[in-house]
Structure 1
């Protein structure tokens, strides 16, 4: 009868040490088989002993030969049953998960270095002559008029300073003379009195006085005075000019040859390394699992042992 691996149910040969499919160690499997054979043999012997005992009992009791023939028939049936049990098998289906290898395609990039020409500019510095004006500053004399506003020359004369009388007020008169020989203008003066308590009383007056002319400024007040006084508010001015020698800065230039640095460039062709890539298909081995329907043979054990009990 064919034997099968207890792990994967692959068919195995008598005395095989390892399963050729899954590599399972078969030493323990063969030992169990040997023990099973010994057990069956013992059962056969026990059954024969039981039958012999029944025959002895039957003969001892003076049984007829029909009974003996029946017992012998039972013995033959039992022996046949054991022979059948040792050799009869049946095939049953089972499902086994097995692994297998498969080549699976995949797309990868394949890159390589390539020399690619390109154009670039190379530049260098050169000295280029040019003409430039070199200039310097010098002081040059010139005639100019220096004009200033100056007040007109004048003089003030007190012509009257009268105390208050019984029938007349206090009175003061100042005569202002324009001493300039060319220009007239408006003269403004404050005239009045200084009182005994330290205060002042008076008024501002303005008159136009021509060159070399005079004008009187008069003020009166009904009060007792200590003295007469005046002050100039504004005096006309005129522009007084005179010739002076001044200096101004002028720039004098002359041509001169100089050199400047300029960059001169030209196109050159060079080569650079670039990576060029493309898609290629490669195959890789992958392990997969699938279900497989298989068949195995198993021993058939007949139910005949009740005949001897």
Structure 2
């Protein structure tokens, strides 16, 4: 297992300069800021890791003629297809058959060859691995790769530049790529990271409890993006630090947070994009309560959703 370092994140930032949109950060009151990464290319933070991954392979001369392939619930596939188009290589993306139509349509819009397999990420991943083995395509991953995590981690320094005296960053966790990168950068600066998962998509929380990576059941309104059956070993290693807190939020709070982002700010985000915000929500159960004077940044990480189910108020 590659041990992720802040140097990896800094190198990723050099590769990403001029290719990704710097994150917009806006105050939300009471010492909380929102990092609006859902406005990134392809509608999620995944563009950072995908571009770092392919740019590094381009530098090393290891981008094959068969292109790149990835299995993804949607957002990582979108990012991979977007970056592949920038690099001038083919992208073959494997998704579960129940992936949101909006994501499938966007993938095809980026020129990707879309293959729908099975009903869970694990099944799409198995098909992707077989494709890579038989064609020689470069296998990317939705989250479990140091280049992917390091790219995602570039968010943290951009947030720090806009929130002087930042104490804590709050991120949603699926497979752990965003968390591992951000928490690695946060640790370098002496900041706390709060890792937020749906109660029934708790790959990181369960791994911390068990002391090892374990398979978990996946059943959440946010499972299309946060539905990894197991967290990456890198994420688990990072999460064992005292500067990381793992919290769980019920689906009802995720739905509430997503609606609130729309009602109060006209931000249309996917359920995964509202999961970090749900930890600080105004509902009956606040998973994370900041201390007096604590300065907190909450990452709004994805916008690939059908906004038709947001209630107009």
Considering the TM-score relative to the shorter chain, is it more than 0.5? no
Q: Which structure features the higher share of strand residues?
A: 1
TM-score (norm 2): 0.16
Bigger CA radius of gyration: 1
Whichever structure has more helix as a proportion of its residues is: 2
More relative contact order in 1 or in 2 (CA 8 Å, sep 6+)?
Answer: 1
